[in-house]
């Protein structure tokens, strides 16, 4: 995996992207296709964010680095 500092930077970046996509969905989507695309993108970012957070939590708990 990556070091904890890089993971924290990644988490902050993903959270920023998620907020931007949510704002886009709320204020700028005018077609159903755009909405579906934005929802899919949001779902992917949220899943990635959860995976990174889970890995960080596991590393903190075990004191090990996940090599997967």
pTM, entire model: 0.83
The 10s digit of each residue's pLDDT in 14-66 is: 999 999 999 999 999 999 999 999 999 999 999 999 999 998 888 878 876 55
Give the per-residue pLDDT at 68: 52
Give the per-residue pLDDT at 13: 97
User: Where in the chain are the domains?
Assistant: 4-57
Cα separation of 22 and 19, whole Å?
5
Instruction: Kindly provide the b/e burial profile for residues 24-57, where b requires at least 16 CB atoms within 10 angstroms of the residue's own CB.
Output: eeeeeeeeeeeeeebeeebeebeeebeebeebbe
Write out the two tokens for 9.
Answer: 């930077």
């Amino acid at each position: 995996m990556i070091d904890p500092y890089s993971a924290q930077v990644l988490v902050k970046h993903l959270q920023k992207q998620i907020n931007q996509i949510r704002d886009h969905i709320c204020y700028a989507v005018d077609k159903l296709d755009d909405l579906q695309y934005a929802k899919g993108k949001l779902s992917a970012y949220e899943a990635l964010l959860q995976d990174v957070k889970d890995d960080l939590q596991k590393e903190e708990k075990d004191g090990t680095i996940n090599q997967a």
